[in-house]
């Protein structure tokens, strides 16, 4: 078996954990950098960008509902135009710092509840995908595989990278189990690596009710704040290597639809 899969992590979200984030970069291929909506500031953005360059990791923006108090984990009832303005401003903040450092960004991945809302609400997904693609046409959009954001990005003409999760449980509808419910978090390197391999190879995995589902994705997310995330990333790398699967960022492999990210 041969192939490739991207392994990404959300970084720059916890000021006291930057050492952990930088260590994790040694084992992933792309990262999503908090850019002020739920976490992150100019200093953390610059440090994460420099670390990504040093590690050879493809950096992207990780915008959210403007909700630093709630870490972006609650849906905000705000006008869609105001939300879009905030998201564009967040990505611009990271893009400007990246430009100053001569570090190209590759993608945009929404955070937290915004991520889930974009997967579930087609009208919202369409507006956000179109606006982000207009503002940043060279950046791919990353979102939940099989969600509304995937269809919206395609309709907008954006490159979309479908994402699966190695440390989160799924419902039968291929949505993430809410963090407040049992089965939301997958613990242990073996279980996480098994889920990663199932997604990478197109094999079924068990939803939280025991039914089997397929998740078709080209990027896998491991949360940096999951206990043992660095060890899990190492375990996943070993399992993928044993199956002939390379861990590469989208755009690094020939004939990849995301090859526009190299331009």
The string of DSSP letters for 112-163 reads HHHHHHHHH-HHHHHHHHHHHHHH-TTSEEEEETTSHHHHHHHHHT--EEEE
Note the pLDDT of residue 1.
Answer: 59
pLDDT the model gives residue 262: 33
DSSP SS3 for 178:
coil
> C-alpha 94: how far from its chain's center?
16
- Which of 182, 260, 256 is CA-nearest to residue 219? 256
CA distances from 77 to 64, 67, 72, 121, 221 (A): 13, 12, 13, 14, 27
CB 165 within 8 A of CB 262: no
Question: For tokens 């395609």, what's the residue?
Answer: 154
Give whole-number Cα distances, 61 to 52, 142, 147, 259, in Å. Answer: 12, 10, 20, 18
Q: Is 219 helix (H, G, I), strand (E, B) or coil?
A: strand
Q: Which residues contact 110 (CB under 8 A, 6 or more apart)?
A: 62, 63, 64, 87, 118, 128, 142, 143, 149
Distance CA 244, CA 211 (A): 28
What is the value of pTM for the model shown? 0.94
Answer yes or no: are the C-beta atoms of 96 and 127 closer than 8 Å.
no
Full pLDDT tens readout for the chain, 263 residues = 569 999 999 999 999 999 999 999 999 999 999 999 999 999 999 999 999 999 999 999 999 999 999 999 999 999 999 999 999 999 999 999 999 999 999 999 999 999 999 999 999 999 999 999 999 999 999 999 999 999 999 999 999 999 999 999 999 999 999 988 999 999 999 999 999 999 999 999 999 999 999 999 999 999 888 888 899 999 999 999 999 999 999 976 444 544 433 32
How far is it, in rounded angstroms, from Cα 138 to Cα 1?
32
From the list 108, 213, 123, the residue with the least C-alpha distance to 165 is 213
Structure tokens at 237: 């790398």
Whether 138 and 130 have beta carbons less than 8 Å apart is answered as no
Q: What is the largest distance, in Å, between two alpha-carbon atoms of the chain?
A: 49
Q: How far apart are CA 50 and CA 70, in angstroms?
A: 27
- Domains of the chain, earliest start first: 3-262 (3.20.20.370)
Token pair listed for 206: 């068990």
> What Cα–Cα distance (Å) separates residue 80 from each residue in 68, 74, 84, 149, 238?
19, 15, 6, 15, 43
């Amino acid at each position: 078996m041969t192939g490739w899969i991207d392994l990404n992590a959300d970084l720059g979200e916890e000021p006291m954990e930057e050492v952990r984030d930088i260590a994790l970069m040694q084992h992933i291929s792309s990262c999503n950098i908090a850019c002020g909506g739920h976490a992150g500031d100019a200093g953390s953005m610059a440090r994460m960008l420099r670390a990504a360059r040093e590690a050879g990791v493809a950096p992207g923006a990780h915008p959210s509902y403007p909700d630093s108090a709630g870490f972006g984990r609650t849906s905000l009832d705000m006008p869609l135009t105001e939300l879009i303005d905030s998201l564009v401003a967040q990505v611009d903040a990271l893009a400007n710092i990246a430009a100053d450092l001569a570090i190209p960004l590759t993608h945009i991945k929404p955070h937290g509840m915004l991520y889930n809302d974009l997967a579930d609400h087609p009208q919202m997904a369409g507006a956000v995908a179109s606006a982000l693609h207009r503002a940043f046409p060279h950046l791919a959009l990353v979102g939940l595989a099989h969600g509304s954001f995937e269809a919206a990005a395609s309709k907008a003409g954006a490159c979309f990278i479908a994402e699966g999760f190695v440390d989160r449980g799924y419902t039968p509808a291929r949505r993430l189990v809410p963090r407040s419910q049992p089965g939301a978090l997958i613990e242990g390197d073996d279980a996480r690596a098994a889920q990663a391999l199932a997604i990478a190879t197109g094999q079924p995995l068990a939803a939280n009710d025991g039914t089997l589902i397929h998740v078709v994705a080209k990027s896998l997310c491991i949360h940096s704040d999951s206990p043992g995330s660095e060890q899990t990333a190492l375990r996943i790398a070993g399992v993928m290597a044993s199956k002939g699967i390379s861990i590469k960022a989208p755009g690094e492999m020939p004939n990849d639809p995301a090859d526009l990210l190299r331009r």
